[in-house]
Amino acid sequence: MPEKTATTPETDVTVEAATAAAVDASVTDTGPAPDKARSLWSDAWHDLRRNPLFLVSAVLIFILLVIATFPSLFTSASPRDADLVNHYLQAPNWSHFFSPDWFGYDGQGRSIYARVLYGARASIMVGVGVTVLVTLLGTLVGMLAGYFGGWVDTLLSRLTDVFFGIPFLLGALVILTSFEKREVWVVILALAFLGWTQIARVARGSVITIKQADYVVAAKALGASTSRILVKHILPNALAPIIVVATIALGGYIAAEATLSFLGIGLTEPTVSWGVDVSSAREQLRNAPHVLIVPSVMVSITVLSFLMFGDAVRNALDPKLR
């Protein structure tokens, strides 16, 4: 008969120690536990917080939004008060920071500093308003065309091509000339009427790709309605490229408003905007260049800020650019 191996308390302790060491070694070999998976938006935010381009543009945009919302916090002067006797084309006084004469006065004796602050409201309102409208309209058209396909896609795509073939500024010029009084909402509607085509194309391409995903097919198999599939499944996943295009286009709409106002077709007096000031200052370019330079610089800074912001967002949301 085989002999039985005798066990002692010391042997049991040795076996337990060896087992614990083996378990520790196996844990060590497997390495640390993987990090929790992040979504596209959290991953993009993680990158944006470390992007100097995004931080600088975000600070500039925040300052511009505060100025546009509360211009009276930065000056007590009125942008419409005129004094031709004492302030006609008065040169800037760079030593008086944040004072009415800091940027000088225009040809009607009005403070350029006050007009720059109050003009930010109209210019940014046009940019934001047009961006919101074109994003809503373009996303709706693109989603319907990409999801349903067939004759719906053909009809909406041909309609988009028709509007896309109209020159943007020329079409806006023709539309705005039919209005005698061109206020902010008129310019917003005119620009939005022609500017939705690019976002529609981007949304259509994204929806065509996303509707073939497994989770969309599963939602259809479970009997989900078309509206629920579009809102709950397709729209959140197609939103990233739409946001990128809309953010970059926002600066272009501000520049378009300034261009139309410079041509005398955009906003008109008594509306205070940078484009109106640039248009009225072109006659004083040789005698008082500061009247034209100051509002032009503000338009350039604003457009550049939104372009940098959109470029940073694009780099964060596009996996190919990582």
Spell out the residues 6+ positions from residue 89 whose beta carbon is closer than 8 angstroms to its own.
Answer: 104, 105, 106, 107, 284, 287, 288, 291
Give tens-digit pLDDT for 48-78: 888 898 899 999 999 999 999 999 899 888 8
pLDDT score recorded for residue 300: 92
Residue 18: the pLDDT is 44
The CA distance from 196 to 134, in Å, is 4
Which pLDDT does position 199 carry in this prediction?
94
Tens of pLDDT, residue by residue over 129-164, are 999 999 999 999 999 999 998 999 999 999 999 998
Q: Is the peptide bond between 270 and the residue preceding it cis, with omega within 30 degrees of 0?
A: yes
pLDDT level of residue 39 (50, 70, 90 thresholds): low
Q: Is 94 helix (H, G, I), strand (E, B) or coil?
A: coil
Q: Are 195 and 168 in contact (CB under 8 A)?
A: yes
Tokens representing 64 are 């511009």
Instruction: Flag the least confident range among 10-14, 152-156, 160-164, 184-188.
Output: 10-14
Q: Residue 115: CA atoms inside 13 Å, Cβ hemisphere, count? A: 32
**pLDDT class of 19 with cuts at 50, 70, 90:** very low
10 Å Cβ neighbour count for 303? 20
Query: Which amino acid is located at 43 in the chain?
Result: D
CATH topology of domain 40-76+106-321: MetI-like fold (1.10.3720)
- Identify the band that residue 322 occupies on the pLDDT scale cut at 50, 70 and 90: low
Task: Specify the pLDDT at position 64.
Answer: 93
Eight-class DSSP state of 179: -
Q: What is the mean pLDDT of residues 306-322?
A: 78
Mean pLDDT score of the chain: 83
| pLDDT greater than 60 at residue 289 | yes
Q: Would you list the domain boundaries of the chain?
A: 40-76+106-321
**Is residue 23 predicted with pLDDT exceeding 80?**
no
